[in-house]
Chains A and B, each alone.
Chain A
């Protein structure tokens, strides 16, 4: 059973770990996991839905555990802006004003949408509240992340979209930060997810889901998957192994069963 280790002071240290103790790169598990998923889907699948069913990391979080505040536009916009800050950190950008820099960066690639409209409607007081909120998350994040060395090959907002069951199911994911490479003799890919909410049981399922989708996408099992809460400064890290990935397959099948039932 993988263990959760809490409250690392240095994120990069936790992500990379001891280089000498890394396992050999696993390129053979992906096909088995895909087959497990396909077999599991076949057992309860009825008709092909149109459009296809989409599973995201958020689908695996228990919605009952999530407070309404976390689903509000304010919380979602704060989350988006903190993710932009992670992207800026990944290239070693100097951040002079956390809110302004994140907001500018976000607006560069977002020109429409519900959150965009919400941001346009914010008045001076709301903007000031949001800026203070983002700033507090930025301070926690910047202290934990520190400088990300370029030799770790950091990639931010890494997207994945894995089609299953003839394209009728799509597993989508965005990993906030990924370091390491899939090439090499030993596993080195570490996945890092940032959330602006406190960590809960849903976060653990999300960590597993990130590892599963990354394995299915690249065919290589990542070394580690982790989640960091910029609200509490807490970080959970799991070493990825066969058991963790199989548990994630079961998580995804449970979500799909519920989706089919409610469709």
Chain B
């Protein structure tokens, strides 16, 4: 039986949701990893496969070609700016974002930025376009900071998303995560989302939960994965139970199968 919790994003509701995370610690072992790899290997692939919760929520439907925009850059830029603000409390949001953008531009000038990267995209932008990117990132950072400050337990901004390479299956799984809350011997992960949750948000959160567990060196599952939709004032949660992890893994494999079918239909 999988879990699914729905709450408003008030300060007390969010803290209750974090603290009521199940105390049991669930762990994925080598057998689980081998079994998952075998299932992915059984799905033929034309090239290297990348699957994340967005693919799961879209049931493997091919998305539009990725292009950088203020909306696609705001999370990366905003999270980095928040980390910078936490290191230097005197730094304002706009200063932090400006410094992050300066760093990215420096990488481009130094030749370290790859073609198509955020840094190389910044280098092509006019000042007014860059200002719009800053405005979107500022919204994200302030929102994240407000949510983080409302958490009563120890929290940190995640340094990166969770990545897991499935052995010999040419598949990389990417689990998104923004904040990590530490509760004694276990942790709760939070993910901030735009818009409103849809019918497939639960499977999306479960896949993020599964990928975070697979990416953990000891395979320890987060006690709870919480998705926050501040625009709607809603948060949803899934628990780190074995049935939720299995459901998340099943959704990931199904997405790989659906992707393959779409590729075949396009090729035909």
Q: Mark A residues whose CB is within 8 Å of B.
A: 27, 30, 84, 87-88, 90-96, 100-102, 104-105, 108-109, 150-151, 153-163, 170, 181-183, 216-219
Q: Are A109 and B69 in contact (CB under 8 A)?
A: yes
Q: Are A219 and B8 in contact (CB under 8 A)?
A: yes
Kindly state the separation between the CA atoms of A132 and B138 in the bound complex, as whole angstroms.
Answer: 30
Instruction: Give chain A residues whose Cβ lies under 8 Å from the Cβ of B69.
Output: 108-109
Q: How far is the CB of A158 from chain B (nearest CB, A)?
A: 7
Instruction: Give chain A residues whose Cβ lies under 8 Å from the Cβ of B93.
Output: 150, 153
Q: How many residues of B contact A (CB 8 A)?
A: 37
Kindly state the separation between the CA atoms of A157 and B133 in the bound complex, as whole angstroms.
Answer: 12
Kindly state the separation between the CA atoms of A101 and B233 in the bound complex, as whole angstroms.
Answer: 33
Q: Are B129 and A104 in contact (CB under 8 A)?
A: yes
Q: 0/1 per residue, B56-96, Cβ < 8 Å to A?
A: 00000000000001110000000000000000000011110
B142-150, B160-168, B204-212 - interface stretch = B142-150
Chain A's closest residue to B97 (CB) is A91
Q: Are B233 and A109 in contact (CB under 8 A)?
A: no
B196 part of interface (Cβ distance < 8 Å): yes
Q: Are B128 and A100 in contact (CB under 8 A)?
A: yes
Partner of A91, one of B131, B149, B194: B131
Instruction: Give chain B residues whose Cβ lies under 8 Å from the Cβ of A150.
Output: 92-95
Q: Give the number of residue pairs across the A-B interface with Cβ within 8 Å.
A: 104
Q: Is the interface of A mostly helix, strand, loop or mixed?
A: mixed
Please name 4 further chain A to chain B contacts, defined as beta carbons within 8 Å, in addition to the given A91-B94, A96-B127, sorted by A numbering. Answer: A87-B132, A90-B135, A217-B233, A219-B10
Q: Mark B residues whose CB is within 8 Å of A.
A: 8-11, 69-71, 92-95, 97, 125-129, 131-135, 138-139, 142-143, 146, 149-150, 194-196, 230-234
**5 A/B residue pairs, CB under 8 Å, sorted by A:** A91-B135, A104-B129, A108-B133, A157-B135, A183-B11
Partner of A101, one of B128, B133, B134: B128
Given contacts A163-B232, A217-B233, contact A105 B128 (CB under 8 A): yes
Q: How far is the CB of B211 from chain A (nearest CB, A)?
A: 27
Kindly state the separation between the CA atoms of A53 and B53 in the bound complex, as whole angstroms.
Answer: 29
Kindly state the separation between the CA atoms of A261 and B237 in the bound complex, as whole angstroms.
Answer: 38
Instruction: Give chain B residues whose Cβ lies under 8 Å from the Cβ of A219.
Output: 8-11, 233
Q: Are B233 and A105 in contact (CB under 8 A)?
A: no
Q: Are B195 and A104 in contact (CB under 8 A)?
A: no
Given contacts A161-B195, A183-B149, A183-B150, contact A109 B71 (CB under 8 A): yes
Partner of B128, one of A93, A160, A182: A93
Q: Which of B71, B135, B195 has the largest count of A CB atoms less than 10 A from its CB? A: B135
Q: Are A88 and B128 in contact (CB under 8 A)?
A: yes
Q: How far is the CB of B71 from chain A (nearest CB, A)?
A: 7
Q: Are A155 and B11 in contact (CB under 8 A)?
A: no
Q: Are B233 and A216 in contact (CB under 8 A)?
A: yes
Instruction: Give chain A residues whose Cβ lies under 8 Å from the Cβ of B94.
Output: 91-92, 150
Q: How far is the CB of A173 from chain B (nearest CB, A)?
A: 10
Q: Which of B126, B132, B138, B234 has the largest count of A CB atoms less than 10 A from its CB? A: B132
Q: Are A157 and B139 in contact (CB under 8 A)?
A: yes
